[in-house]
């Protein structure tokens, strides 16, 4: 039951995982090539970001055919093969579903914009201008940079505006139209029939908009995202977390239940943080929602991190199952975020990556690993003329999202073993030492640490299902227990750069640690700078 509570998910950004046909962009056959690596690593579920037909304005999050594979990535047969190969290795596969919007090149939109009275005229959100010609309201595009960009784009043919919460090439679908909804469910059916084990629903909190289309309120408090763009100045409640959206999610859930044990994961973004994740994941809705709030607030401040995870733990309690993520294709890499502004050497960086990994894989909730995190990949410098991310262009001179989407580093060769030709985004110059081949050989590498953590989760039910309790500890130290029936595990993380004494008041045996050997005794000892250690204290 609820296999996804025990599973570790691994996100693949298909453009950047492995390029099989050597055109500079990753593809489905490339992923098949690397499945043995994923099964060696010990992940349970592979999540693929979009590989559907798309003009690639937002690199696949702008879909022009929900039921086909873009030739850049391969064919539908390649996809079927990928599903089989994943299942053959005892893993599962989930894929993205992007139903807030389509591409403006989708035949539905092309028809919709052709006139005001065509059969699909109402499939998108069209509004008349204000009497002075202005857009119907003040909603802004979530891809705005420093300056707000309207979420409305003028169409000279219909003499109306259409809504696009993201880029102007991504018109929002009208979920209030029954035909649209029917098509969406048809597309889900298409992929479920091909054997996928679940979906990640993109921008799922935005499906229904406030039918009054009133202006959004502006607020000074509004949540600060990593990118601090103009979108943070407006409240999101006119289009995020509407009650109709929750009802639609319940319908999705009922539909997926008819296929048995599938998993549904919502990308929920709002200015209401945790609260909305919970609302979207209480029984009968999504199984999981990404805890983006946690990811964005994660720092090396032990007190704050304890507060964050303790909040999630208490708030979700028995009501819903939390999830954790350190990074994804929309955010800077975890090492960069944690060490921002610090002077750190390679060794400290490695320890900090292990600290984050230990946290991710031992707190109570389902963990998601972003490709490359397991080898300690960092943000890659992308010069202005190489920026391709539409939001990145708006954010410039600040970093956009390209920096975390660069090719996976398989080895130290020219193109890092990703491709034989120059890839679509530059490869990080640290590829010489940060790569799979190197790290596989090094018992103290981040990669082998991840692998051991994954093994540990598999062999200790307390780490997957056990209750979590935080224990007061010296400054900079996070200490919590995970326990279930007779199994009790203590996790100690030193978020600071000086050793701290910790007395467990019971003898324990080290299960895994960045500084200690497996099986060593732990009782009253110094926890070293940036050390992580997992200790068995079962009686
Ligand atoms: C989600 C995706 C992001 C994409 C956006 C629009 O936030 O994670 O990459 O740009 O939706 O589809």
- Ligand 1 atom closest to 62 (CA): 12
pLDDT, residue 402, reads 98
149 contacts: CB under 8 Å, gap ≥ 6: 140, 141, 143, 230, 394
Separation of 352 CA from ligand 1 center, angstroms?
28
Which residue among 144, 203, 225 is best mutated to probe the pocket of ligand 1, counting the most ligand atoms within 8 A of its Cβ?
203
- 254 is a domain residue: no
- Extract the residue ranges of the chain whose pLDDT is less than 70: 221-223
82 in a structural domain: yes
Tell me if 245 sits within 8 A of 205, measured CB to CB: yes
For residues 327 and 375, membership in a common domain is answered with yes
pTM of the model: 0.98
- With b meaning 16 or more CB within 10 Å and e meaning fewer, what string describes 412-447? eeebbbbbeeebbbbbbebbeebbbebbbeeeebbb
Say whether both 268 and 363 belong to one domain.
Answer: yes
Per-residue model confidence (pLDDT) at position 221: 62
Phi, psi for residue 88 in degrees, rounded to 5: -60, -30
pLDDT, tens only, 393-443: 999 999 999 999 999 999 999 999 999 999 999 999 999 999 999 999 999
**DSSP H/E element including 304:** helix 302-316
Distance of CA 277 to the CA centre of its chain: 14
Sign for the pseudo-dihedral over CA of 24, 30, 36, 39 = positive
Looking at 393, 428, 453, the residue that finishes a domain is 453
Does residue 393 share a domain with residue 479?
Answer: no
- The number of domains in the chain is 2
- Contact by Cβ (8 Å): 405, 392: no
For residue 321, how far is its CA from the centre of ligand 1 (angstroms)?
23
Nearest Cα to Cα of residue 48 among 2, 88, 3, 85: 85
Q: Are 107 and 197 in contact (CB under 8 A)?
A: no
Q: Are residues 332 and 473 in the same domain?
A: no
Which residues surround ligand 1 with Cβ inside 6 Å?
58, 61, 98, 166, 202-203, 267, 329-330
Q: DSSP string spanning 59-79?
A: TTSS-SEEEEE-TTT--HHHH
Write the DSSP string, 333-366: -HHHHHHTT----HHHHHHHHHHHHHHHHHSSSE
* Catalytic residue selected from 267, 287, 531, 536: 267
| Domain end position, chosen among 390, 422, 453 | 453
- For ligand 1, atom 4, name the residue with the nearest CA: 61
Could you tell me the residue range of the domain that residue 526 belongs to?
467-536
Q: Is 373 a catalytic residue?
A: no
Q: Rounded CA gap, 327 and 350, in Å?
A: 16
Per-residue confidence (pLDDT) for residue 223, from 0 to 100: 65
Residue 100 Cα to ligand 1 middle (Å): 10
Reported as type and span, the H/E element at residue 153 is strand 152-155
449 plus 521 within the same structural domain:
no
Structural contact between residues 47 and 368, judged by C-beta atoms closer than 8 angstroms:
yes
Q: Are strands 532-536 and 500-513 parallel, antiparallel or unpaired?
A: antiparallel
Q: Are residues 513 and 449 in the same domain?
A: no
In a domain, 491, yes or no: yes
Centre of ligand 1 to C-alpha 202, Å, is: 6
Question: Is 65 one of the catalytic residues?
Answer: no
| Residue bearing the CA closest to ligand 1, atom 7 | 203
Give yes or no: residues 532 and 391 share one domain.
no
Same domain, 354 and 443: yes
In a domain, 530, yes or no: yes
Domain boundary among 387, 420, 453: 453
- 372 in the same domain as 290: yes
Greatest Cα-to-Cα distance within the chain, rounded to the nearest angstrom: 76
What pLDDT, on the 0 to 100 scale, is given for residue 222? 63
Residues 387 and 522 in one domain: no
Q: Are residues 431 and 505 in the same domain?
A: no
Residues 407 and 522 occupy one common structural domain = no
| 530 Cβ neighbours under 8 A, 6+ residues apart | 348, 351, 352, 354, 355, 494, 495, 496, 497, 514
Give me the CATH number covering residue 85.
3.20.20.80
Question: For 216-230, what is each residue's pLDDT tens digit?
Answer: 999 876 667 788 889
Closest Cα partner for 95 from 187, 169, 226, 201?
201
Residue 491 Cα to ligand 1 middle (Å): 34
Instruction: Give the integer Cα–Cα distance in Å for 18 and 14.
Output: 8
pLDDT at position 272: 83
C-alpha–C-alpha distance, residues 326 and 173, integer Å: 30
- CATH code at 474? 2.60.40.1180
Which residue in 44, 70, 172, 202 is the catalytic one? 202
Q: What Å distances lie between residue 227 and 230, 232, 423, CA to CA? A: 9, 9, 26
- State how far the Cα of 389 lies from the Cα of 143, in Å rounded to an integer: 10
Reading phi first (left if > 0) and then psi (alpha if -120 to 50, else beta), residue 333 is in beta
Say which residue the tokens 């539908």 belong to: 76
For the chain, helix (H) and strand (E) counts, in that order, are: 15, 19
In a domain, 483, yes or no: yes
């Amino acid at each position: 039951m609820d296999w996804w509570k025990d599973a570790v998910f691994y996100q693949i950004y298909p453009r950047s995982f492995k390029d099989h046909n050597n055109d500079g962009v990753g593809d489905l056959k490339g992923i098949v090539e690397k499945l043995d690596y994923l099964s060696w690593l010990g992940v349970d579920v592979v999540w693929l970001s979009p590989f559907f037909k798309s003009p690639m304005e937002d690199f696949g999050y702008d879909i022009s055919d929900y039921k086909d594979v873009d030739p850049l990535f391969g064919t539908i047969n390649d996809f079927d093969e990928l599903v089989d190969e994943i299942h053959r290795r005892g893993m599962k596969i989930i894929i993205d579903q992007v139903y807030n919007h389509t591409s403006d090149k989708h035949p539905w939109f092309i028809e919709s914009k052709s006139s005001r009275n065509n059969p699909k005229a109402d499939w998108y959100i069209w509004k008349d201008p204000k009497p002075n010609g202005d857009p119907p309201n003040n909603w802004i595009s979530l891809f705005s940079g420093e300056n707000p960009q309207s979420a409305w784009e003028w169409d000279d043919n219909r003499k109306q505006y259409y809504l696009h919460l993201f880029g102007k090439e991504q018109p929002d679908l009208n979920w209030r139209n029954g035909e649209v909804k029917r098509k969406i469910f048809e597309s889900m059916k298409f992929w479920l029939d091909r054997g996928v084990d679940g979906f990640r629903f993109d921008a799922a909190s935005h499906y229904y908009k406030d039918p009054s289309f009133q202006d959004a309120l502006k607020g000074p408090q509004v949540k600060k995202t990593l990118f601090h763009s103009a979108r943070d100045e407006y409240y999101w409640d006119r289009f995020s977390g509407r009650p109709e959206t929750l009802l639609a999610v319940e319908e999705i859930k009922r539909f997926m239940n008819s296929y048995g044990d599938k998993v549904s994961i919502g990308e929920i973004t709002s200015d209401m943080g945790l609260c909305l994740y919970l609302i979207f994941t209480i029984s009968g809705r999504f199984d999981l929602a990404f805890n983006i709030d946690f990811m964005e607030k994660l720092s090396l401040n032990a007190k704050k991190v304890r507060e964050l995870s303790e909040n999630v733990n208490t708030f979700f309690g028995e009501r819903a199952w939390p999830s954790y993520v350190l990074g994804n294709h929309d955010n800077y890499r975890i090492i960069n975020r944690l060490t921002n502004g610090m002077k750190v050497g390679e060794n400290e960086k490695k320890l900090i990556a292990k600290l984050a990994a230990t946290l991710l894989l031992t707190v109570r909730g389902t963990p998601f690993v972003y490709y490359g995190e397991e080898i300690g990949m960092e943000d890659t410098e992308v010069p202005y003329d190489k920026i391709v991310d539409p939001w990145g262009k708006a954010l410039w001179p600040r970093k956009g999202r390209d920096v975390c989407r660069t090719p996976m580093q398989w080895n130290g060769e020219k193109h890092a073993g990703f491709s034989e030709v120059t890839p679509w985004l530059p490869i990080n110059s640290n590829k010489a030492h940060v790569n799979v081949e190197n790290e596989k050989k090094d018992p103290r590498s981040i990669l082998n640490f991840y692998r051991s953590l994954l093994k540990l989760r598999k062999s200790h039910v307390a780490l997957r299902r056990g209750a979590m309790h935080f224990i007061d500890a010296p400054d900079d130290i996070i200490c919590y227990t995970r326990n279930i029936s007779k199994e009790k595990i203590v996790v100690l993380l030193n978020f600071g750069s000086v050793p701290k004494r910790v007395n467990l008041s019971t003898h324990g045996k080290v299960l895994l640690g960045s500084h200690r050997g497996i099986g060593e005794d732990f009782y009253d000892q110094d926890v070293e700078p940036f050390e992580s250690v997992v200790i068995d204290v079962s009686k």
